[in-house]
Amino acid sequence: MEEHIRSILMALGENPDREGLKRTPARVAEAFTFLTRGYRMDPEKVINDALFTEEYEEMIVQKDIDFFSLCEHHLLPFFGKAHVAYIPRHKIVGVSKLARLVDVYARRLQVQERLTNQIATTIMEKLDPLGAAVVIEAEHLCMRMRGVEKQNSLIITSALLGAFRNRQETRSEFMNLIRQKN
**Residues 63/64/65/66 CA torsion (nearest 10 deg):** 170
Catalytic residues: 71-74, 112, 140, 142
Q: How many CA atoms lie within 13 A of 134 on its CB side?
A: 25
Query: What are phi and psi for residue 33, nearest 5 degrees?
Result: -65, -45
* Spatial separation of the C-alpha atoms in residues 30 and 32, rounded to whole Å: 6
Helical residues (DSSP H) of the chain, grouped into ranges = 2-11, 24-35, 43-48, 95-106, 112-127, 141-144, 163-166, 168-179
Ramachandran region of residue 147, left (φ > 0), alpha (ψ -120 to 50) or beta?
left
Helical residues (DSSP H) of 12-107, grouped into ranges = 24-35, 43-48, 95-106
